[in-house]
Amino acid sequence: MAKRILPKRQRQKALKELLRENPFMTDEELCDYFSVSIQTIRLDRLELGIPELRERLKYVAKRNHSKLRSIEGKEIVGELIDLELGKSAISMLQTDDSMVFERSKIVRGHYIFAQAESLAIAVIDAKVALTGVANVKYKIPIYSGDKLIAKAEVMRQRGNKFFVWVKTRIGQEEAFRGKFILVSIDGDKK
């Protein structure tokens, strides 16, 4: 199905809205979405004062790292995109050849798990949180070059236990799902 090409003003308005909802879309994905050249997208971004993807990610990550309580920003696997303590968080992990099994080129599970677990810990509104239980499911193979978007949601809290679900997608397809029970502990003990 061919997409209708929007006039410049409508496209720029739609571009701003699209990047507000999903700040980690690449210029290539945007040109496919709008059926225009990459140069057109770059000119639109320039006119609108929207920085390139790397700068958008740095800005968003810096803003969200200051909200963290239970984990340091450098300990999160992937880029922290959004954080609402005690409610939800989103991170992005760009996979590469250093993360894969040599023969199959499939990303090793511990990278996928680490992204989900560190995001689950980050979303907790506690001084120190540890994983008590993790129930995970790897749904499809993930290959080098895939961009993983993980979303964590705090489902409920019972005393010092937090029940967090993390879903990781590649594009629109769910690739991984984890249900974590995290325990908040007193961080002053040695």
**Digit-coded pLDDT (tens) for 69-87:** 555 556 778 888 888 888 9
* Per-residue pLDDT at 94: 93
* Per-residue pLDDT at 154: 96
Collapsing DSSP states into helix, strand and coil, what is residue 124?
A: coil
* Per-residue pLDDT at 150: 95
* Per-residue pLDDT at 187: 52
- Residue 88 in contact with residue 81, Cβ under 8 Å? no
Model-wide pTM > 0.85: no
For the chain, the residue count is: 190
**Spatial separation of the C-alpha atoms in residues 107 and 148, rounded to whole Å:** 11
Q: Which domains does the chain have, with CATH numbers?
A: 8-50 (1.10.10.10), 70-185 (3.10.129.10)
Closest CA to 79 of 100, 55, 102: 55
* Per-residue pLDDT at 59: 64
Name the stretches of the chain with pLDDT < 50: 1-2, 188-190
* Per-residue pLDDT at 188: 47
